[in-house]
Structure 1
Amino acid sequence: MPRATSAKFSRVHQAAPKKGAHNPGSSSSGASGGSNSQMTNPIFNTARFGQHILKNQQTCQRIVDAANLKPTDKVMEVGPGTGNLTVKILDQAKHVTAIEMDPRMAAEVIKRVQGTPAQRKLEVVIGDFVKVEPLPYFEVCISNTPYQISSPLVFKLLSHRPLFRVAILMFQREFALRLVARPGSALWSRLSANVQLYAKVDNIINVSRNDFRPPPQVESSVIRMVPIDPPPPVKFEEFDGMNRIVFSRPNKTVRGNFQAKGVMKMLEQNRSTWLATQEMLVDENIPISELVDKILTEVGHMESRAAKMDIDDLLKLLSAFHDVGIHFS
């Protein structure tokens, strides 16, 4: 039986079916087809959680193959839906923990492996992935990601310890392209920089909207994310805090973004708080605006634009700010 992460989900899962309703798992054996039984089965009325079931079996296999699974791997799957990916993962991995928010889908996944050797290799957790604590141990993550949790999922994975080996993640194509964007491209952004500081990210598969039931309004892409091991010794809140400023207007100068309303006041407050905890000889009388200009000049980014700054540029700038006690979180 699935493990529920809250009493709420547990009650939903255990509720008796409404009179006349179909068995949610009744069509599991043909989940990739388009039979009338599937179309009338309430499990495929996915509007409640906005799910789009990946039905193309060839695409499912390509996603699983991209993970290069080993027989000893423990896999975490996010959003298994009716289990089309799950059963293929179970064929290659030692164990799968599937995290699913919709109890109907969880029941469908369990139904598909009942009475088979794969049943012992599967655990289903009912709940919102973003709120599940602690996450299970896993070497590989595979996800047909609910689009509304795309960004939280990425950063929860990157902050998870111990580090996983690889994540194969499907996203809305625009989001995926922002993850893999490079400096100087139109899609290079704070998101791109924050993710690429901690992981190598590649776009590996484009997925047609017609591979889903019901078809979403957007195209999808699958990315491969490999954490940098060991991770850089950079506090994420500091890097992201600086990038919030630098990328606020990516095509404007960095100096112009630091001159935006409220930025200098925030930096001055942060610096005062930091100095109060230090025993250092620093000149506290230099106005924060002059100090920022001095740093930008010294590192050569007074007239730079975030749209063209790479990870090394951003790290160099952050280090220079830290040297004079300017912090961003």
Structure 2
Amino acid sequence: MTVKAKKHLGQHFLKDENIAQKIADTLSYEGYKNVLEIGPGMGVLTKYLLEKEITTYVIEIDTESVEYLQANYLNLASRIIEKDFLKYDLKEIFNKEPFAVIGNFPYNISTQIIFKTLEMRDHIPEFSGMFQKEVAKRICSKEGSKVYGILSVLTQAFYNADYLFTVPPTVFNPPPKVDSGVLRLSRKEDYNLPCDEKLFFKVVKTAFQQRRKTLRNSLKTFNLSDNLKANVIFGKRPEQLTVSQFVELTQLIEKDSK
């Protein structure tokens, strides 16, 4: 039995064993006892995770893939979660225990996977996996880059992001139309921001919605005082600011509104 890749689920099954092993080796497996693989398909990556000294769980929405895994990975059967990662409350499985996340992620939900990981950052110290190359590059890019944006700043506020290697379309069935990229996120030792975190998210998202404008113009909805808008930082465009400068910007806006 093999599983047919389903277009509506964005499935492209990895068929290269070496790359599967390389992805499994991207995590440190230190500081947590559990790892969760998103979208295991037919288990090409799962197989290498099961060799590690860690408890592997998988979460899979595709019934056919679940049946395949249950038939072929008997020692995993009780840890197959047939749910949608984006909608499922993982505390039901892990309670407050930390866990790592790994996977060959469906392209159509990859940025949503990142946002859910950020929401669960208290529980996820490490994360690695495969994205569309341009998305992986965007997540890891630094200020000044054309692709630096909301995803880069929000992720790097809490995690160190490393782009590891590029994967060609030929190692998938069916092959996607673009290259893929593997990245690793390692949560920062101190990942609590010295500002209002909800406001930080709002400032970053609002600033990049009009990325060609200066912050003075793009952040108009915050009703900033003229005194604050005179600050030199407001003459910059969002892609010129480092993550720590976005934190400083949030602190300034916070003080201004009091």
1:129 to 85, 90, 97: 85
Q: Which residue of 2 aligns with 1:310?
A: 242
CA deviation profile, 1:236-265 (whole Å, cap 9, x unmatched): 321121122222232321112234xxx2xx
Tell me the equivalent position of 1:296: 229
> Which one scores higher on RCO, CA 8 angstroms, separation ≥ 6?
2
Shift of 1:70: 6.0
| Counterpart AA for 1:248 | Q
Q: Deviations over 1:125-162 (max 9, x none)?
A: 11110011134335321111112221221122222264
Displacement of 1:108 after TM fit? Answer: 1.1
Task: Give matches, 1:89-128, under 5 Å.
Answer: 89-114=49-74, 119=75, 123-128=79-84
TM-score, normalised with respect to structure 2: 0.90
CA distance in 1, matches of 2:142, 2:246: 14
- Answer yes or no: is 1:242 the counterpart of 2:175: no
Q: For this pair of structures, how many residues does the alignment match? A: 253
Q: Write the distance in 2 (CA, Å) between the matches of 1:90 and 1:71.
A: 18
1:197 to 157, 170, 173: 157
Distance (whole Å) between structure 1 residues aligned to residue 76 and residue 133 of structure 2: 35
Cα root mean square deviation, aligned: 2.1
C-alpha distance after superposition, 1:100-145 (max 9, x if no partner): 010110111122223xxxx068610111100111343353211111
CA gap of 1:240–1:132, structure 2 versus 1, over 3 A, is: same
CA deviations on 1:60-104 (whole Å, 9 max, x unpaired) are 000011113369831111000100111110011331110001011
Specify the alignment match of 1:320 in structure 2: 252
SS at match of 1:97: strand
Distance 2:121 2:85 in 1: 16
Structure 2 unaligned blocks of 5 or more: none
The verdict on how the C-alpha distance between 1:310 and 1:48 changes in structure 2, with shifts beyond 3 A counting, is: closer
SS at structure 1 position matched to 2:28:
coil
In structure 1, C-alpha distance between the alignment counterparts of 2:23 and 2:55, rounded to whole Å: 17
| Distance of 2:112 and 2:122 partners within structure 1 | 18
Is 1:168 aligned to 2:124, yes or no?
Answer: no
Maintained 8 Å contact 2:214/2:237: yes
TM-score (norm 1): 0.71
- CA–CA separation in structure 1 for the residues paired with 2:33 and 2:78: 13
* Further displaced range: 186-195 or 150-159: 150-159
Distance 1:190 1:120, change over 3 A: closer
Q: Conserved in 2, the CA contact under 8 Å of 1:203 and 1:221?
A: yes
Find the residue that maps to 1:84 and give its secondary structure: coil
Q: Secondary structure at the match of 1:92?
A: coil
Q: How does 1:1-329 map to 2 (within 5 A)?
A: 26=1, 41=2, 43-69=3-29, 73-114=33-74, 119=75, 123-135=79-91, 136-137=93-94, 138-160=98-120, 162-233=122-193, 234-259=195-220, 263=221, 267=222, 288=223, 291=225, 293-298=226-231, 300-325=232-257
Mark the CA change 1:220 to 1:122 in structure 2 (over 3 Å): closer, same or farther. Answer: farther
Identity of aligned residues (%): 25
Gap runs ≥5 in structure 1: 1-25, 27-40, 268-287
